[in-house]
Chains A and B, each alone.
Chain A
Amino acid sequence: MPIDILMPALSPTMEEGTLSKWLKNEGDSVAAGDVIAEIETDKATMEVEAVDEGKIGKIMIPAGTENVKVNAVIAVLLEEGESASDIGSGKKADPAPAPAEEATEAKPEAAAPVPAAPKAPVENTAAADPSIPDGTEMVATTVREALRDAMAEEMRANEDVFLMGEEVAEYQGAYKISQGLLQEFGARRVVDTPITEHGFTGIGVGAAMAGLRPIVEFMTFNFAMQAIDQIINSAAKTLYMSGGQMGAPIVFRGANGAAARVGAQHSQCYAAWYSHIPGLKVVMPYTAADAKGLLKAAIRDPNPVIFLENEILYGHSFDVPKMDDFVLPIGKARIHKQGKDVTIVSFGIGMNYAVKAVEELSGMGIDVELIDLRTIRPMDLPTVIESVKKTGRLVTVEEGYPQSSVGTEIATRVQQQAFDYLDAPIITIAGKDVPMPYAANLEKLALPNVAEIVDAVKAVTYTA
């Protein structure tokens, strides 16, 4: 069967080009690799080589033609024993999305039918939290200790798990999260790095591709911006790009968001940033129990997990069940408090404000259902929607910037999926749309506050 020779794409951005010259004529024999034509793109003049062996049966696009679309048929190659009269039954040389019924001119705009886009997998396949047996002792634990315990337990259980980062070993962690780990696991598994985020993140991802289970600590996530290329281009995409052959089972963890008075370069929430990226999971716990259970899950997860902690929460104490192996499902929200009048969705340090607002509101007779998202990606929307169906009102609370925030994402999806249940516009509360100022008064103004949440709840419930 005659073979169509198509206009090749000669650069990633090329859509059309000029067929400047034919180096073979109709009737000429060509071998694979022979230069048959020259093509001018926007960037350069390129030679076109024959891929198959045969005889040029017909030249479809004459030399000098401009604006020849990529994938248009430029000539037809006859195989042994074929003649020009066979042309028309031509099979396309692959890739062959372009049509070529008419022998006289290319019609690249007549595109092949677009296959239906495959449906994205259904979200929230996460299991429910494991039940905590009756009579389990609850131990008051700081988030700091919970994180350390999670790492220590997983390192004991799996020799491939190791921790690396700035000041994680001898200094015991800049925020003392890795306290005691060097002493227990030694310098092979608790590794101090120089201040070279881009480099050690790449090293971590490489080690994960080779099958180890790195935990990479960023002193704060502000410094992960030095390394964000390796996180997104290497860690998040390798599984997909390798057709599933290899991924990067790695945890990137550290303090995220504003601390106190550390200014614009050290006070940013990355929840929305990373939640944008397919190929990542993004976890942002509030309580110590969630910090422990979810960090253990993150370390076991075969995917890259961004684990966003908060410096202010490190010292907060919560009950953590005393269990041998307390692991929580990634991708599952937790109903922090049940209520019927209005739903508040928050996560991480945002919960700190929300919890206080809920208390205040309950004094005013407003019964809030407070949902702690816990995981930003994959997002447990069903839990949110179920709640909104009950309350008809939704307020989201977070510390990050307002544009393209986690809250706006939730709002979009809720109005798409539960529009009929809403009794008021959704209000999204976020940090102000400014770099974090240093001055104490301005910093306070830049952060979300309890009064804002109370006002928002009053607004959506139409209470004066």
Chain B
Amino acid sequence: MATRKSATAASRKKPAEKSGLNGGITEFDKETELEAYREMLLIRRFEEKAGQLYGMGFIGGFCHLYIGQEAVVVGMQMALKDGDQVITGYRDHGHMLATGMEARGVMAELTGRQGGYSRGKGGSMHMFSKDKNFYGGHGIVGAQVSLGTGLAFANKYRGNDNVSVAYFGDGAANQGQVYESFNMAALWKLPVIYIVENNRYAMGTSTARSSAQSNFSLRGNSFGIPGHQVDGMDVRAVHAAAVEAVAHCRSGKGPIILEMLTYRYRGHSMSDPAKYRSKDEVQKMRSEHDPIEQVKARLLELKHASEDDLKAIDKKVRDVVADSADFAQNNPEPDPSELYTDILL
């Protein structure tokens, strides 16, 4: 894992203002640091609970957990403003929580209940919230890249200054429609931020085995789309890159690519034994680069928070998650009449 932009001990000692750029990382103040901590922890605990509910048979089908990658979506989201749109693939629970969607509604969708964001009809991979500008939740690898480009097209068409953020995996980055979209986005200067969540594997295939050019930040080169590699395990590095990318897009300069170097701790989906990588590899990432532990260490070191403070945050987060799980297990299934609704208007 490249950690070229992660903080040094020295840089941690001088907290700066929230959005300041400093050698590729944003120095977070206490509040921002705590916010990032809470947000990432919520995703982590939520996903752990989803894994449990899956094991208990409350969640069915495919369920892809985001554990390990929390800093990417949290750092990005902190740089967005109201009206900016987000779209991603099927590993989407973290993105939904980060856009402010309610844990209850997400969890109830996972259990296929009427209180879910898609009223139980979409499931883990297909969830949306118009309210929060979250456009899904897509099960077909790569589709969200063109769709996200279309969201940017709409922004440009309307002449507003919103940007769209299209997240996709290292595996998705090889799909043809990604490059068709890159070309048009560059040609028409569309305000879209392409986020490659490079977690090193597409299901069981490592980037080395799937990609002739595995530096995904270079994938826009032939279209003149700038790209940067970012330490996606460090929420401050993500944030710094996000601020830059958002400014680029909002100012009318067209698309930009951010390759987030990240890692998923769990298998691809609940049924993946993940034999294609060593336990050591996973353990090393967890112990040396965990996005949440990094923030926690800084908070403690700078005395922004005590162990007790953090425990209190953890307790609050756990309560939110437990409440969502309760809701999701007890909420009724959709009414049978829902079978035939929402097919056409």
**Contact surface of A with B, Cβ cutoff 8 Å:** 166-167, 170-171, 174, 192, 194-196, 198-199, 222-223, 225-226, 259-266, 432-435, 437-442, 445-446
Q: Verify if B61 is at the interface (C-beta below 8 Å from A).
A: yes
Interface residues of B in 201-232 (CB under 8 A from A): 202-205, 209-211
Closest to A440 in B: B112
- Shortest Cβ distance from B277 into chain A, in angstroms? 12
B interface size (C-beta, 8 A):
39
Closest to B338 in A: A442
**Is there contact, CB below 8 Å, between B112 and A195?**
no
- Shortest Cβ distance from B185 into chain A, in angstroms? 19
- Shortest Cβ distance from A227 into chain B, in angstroms? 10
Compute how far the CA of A266 lies from the CA of B122 in the bound complex, rounded to whole angstroms. 11
Compute how far the CA of A433 lies from the CA of B339 in the bound complex, rounded to whole angstroms. 9
Known A-B contacts A439-B333, A442-B339; the reply to A194 vs B121 at CB < 8 A is no
Choice from A171, A223, A437 contacting B120 with Cβ under 8 Å: A437
The interface residues of chain B lying within 8 Å CB-to-CB of A445 are 336, 339
**Is there contact, CB below 8 Å, between A198 and B123?**
no
**Is there contact, CB below 8 Å, between A170 and B139?**
no
Known A-B contacts A441-B334, A442-B334, A442-B339; the reply to A195 vs B210 at CB < 8 A is yes
Known A-B contacts A174-B203, A195-B172, A440-B112; the reply to A263 vs B339 at CB < 8 A is no
Report 24 cross-chain contacts, Cβ distance below 8 Å, ordered by A residue. A167-B205, A171-B203, A192-B205, A195-B174, A222-B140, A225-B140, A226-B140, A226-B175, A259-B61, A260-B61, A261-B60, A261-B61, A262-B125, A262-B139, A263-B123, A265-B139, A266-B62, A266-B139, A438-B109, A438-B120, A438-B121, A438-B123, A439-B112, A441-B333
Q: Verify if B142 is at the interface (C-beta below 8 Å from A).
A: yes
**Is there contact, CB below 8 Å, between B60 and A440?**
yes
- Shortest Cβ distance from A51 into chain B, in angstroms? 40
Compute how far the CA of A192 lies from the CA of B204 in the bound complex, rounded to whole angstroms. 10
Known A-B contacts A174-B203, A194-B174, A442-B338; the reply to A263 vs B209 at CB < 8 A is no
Interface residues of B in 18-50 (CB under 8 A from A): none
Compute how far the CA of A356 lies from the CA of B327 in the bound complex, rounded to whole angstroms. 37
**Is there contact, CB below 8 Å, between A442 and B62?**
no
Q: Verify if B276 is at the interface (C-beta below 8 Å from A).
A: yes
- Shortest Cβ distance from B57 into chain A, in angstroms? 10
Choice from B122, B176, B205, B210 contacting A263 with Cβ under 8 Å: B122
- Shortest Cβ distance from B280 into chain A, in angstroms? 19
The interface residues of chain A lying within 8 Å CB-to-CB of B276 are 170-171
**Is there contact, CB below 8 Å, between B125 and A265?**
yes
Q: Verify if B343 is at the interface (C-beta below 8 Å from A).
A: yes
The interface residues of chain B lying within 8 Å CB-to-CB of A194 are 171, 174, 202, 205, 210-211
The interface residues of chain B lying within 8 Å CB-to-CB of A199 are 176
Choice from A167, A262, A435 contacting B204 with Cβ under 8 Å: A167
Interface residues of B in 314-345 (CB under 8 A from A): 333-334, 336, 338-340, 343
**Is there contact, CB below 8 Å, between A438 and B61?**
yes
**Is there contact, CB below 8 Å, between B126 and A265?**
yes
The interface residues of chain B lying within 8 Å CB-to-CB of A174 are 203
**Is there contact, CB below 8 Å, between B112 and A198?**
no
Q: Verify if B189 is at the interface (C-beta below 8 Å from A).
A: no
Compute how far the CA of A440 lies from the CA of B113 in the bound complex, rounded to whole angstroms. 9
Closest to B122 in A: A438
Closest to B212 in A: A194
Q: Verify if B296 is at the interface (C-beta below 8 Å from A).
A: no
- Shortest Cβ distance from A403 into chain B, in angstroms? 13
> How does the 8 Å CB contact mask read for B98-110 relative to A, with 1 for contact and 0 for none?
0000000000010
**Is there contact, CB below 8 Å, between B172 and A265?**
no
Compute how far the CA of A434 lies from the CA of B339 in the bound complex, rounded to whole angstroms. 7
Choice from A170, A222, A434, A438 contacting B112 with Cβ under 8 Å: A438
Choice from A222, A265, A434, A441 contacting B343 with Cβ under 8 Å: A434
Closest to B207 in A: A194
- Shortest Cβ distance from A66 into chain B, in angstroms? 39
**Is there contact, CB below 8 Å, between B202 and A265?**
no
Compute how far the CA of A195 lies from the CA of B209 in the bound complex, rounded to whole angstroms. 11
- Shortest Cβ distance from A387 into chain B, in angstroms? 33
Compute how far the CA of A262 lies from the CA of B209 in the bound complex, rounded to whole angstroms. 27
- Shortest Cβ distance from B240 into chain A, in angstroms? 30
Compute how far the CA of A434 lies from the CA of B202 in the bound complex, rounded to whole angstroms. 31
Q: Verify if B138 is at the interface (C-beta below 8 Å from A).
A: yes
Known A-B contacts A265-B126, A442-B334; the reply to A170 vs B204 at CB < 8 A is yes
The interface residues of chain B lying within 8 Å CB-to-CB of A434 are 339-340, 343
**Is there contact, CB below 8 Å, between B60 and A260?**
yes
The interface residues of chain A lying within 8 Å CB-to-CB of B53 are none
Compute how far the CA of A260 lies from the CA of B62 in the bound complex, rounded to whole angstroms. 9
**Is there contact, CB below 8 Å, between A437 and B338?**
yes
Q: Verify if B313 is at the interface (C-beta below 8 Å from A).
A: no
Instruction: Using A194-B174, A434-B339, A437-B120 as known contacts, list a sample of 16 further A-B pairs with CB atoms less than 8 Å apart, ordered by residue number in A.
Output: A194-B211, A196-B176, A223-B140, A226-B142, A226-B175, A261-B60, A261-B61, A263-B122, A264-B122, A266-B61, A438-B60, A438-B118, A439-B112, A439-B123, A442-B121, A446-B339
Which 6 interchain pairs have the tightest Cβ spacing?
A438-B123, A261-B60, A261-B61, A439-B112, A439-B120, A171-B204
- Shortest Cβ distance from B252 into chain A, in angstroms? 32
Compute how far the CA of A192 lies from the CA of B203 in the bound complex, rounded to whole angstroms. 12
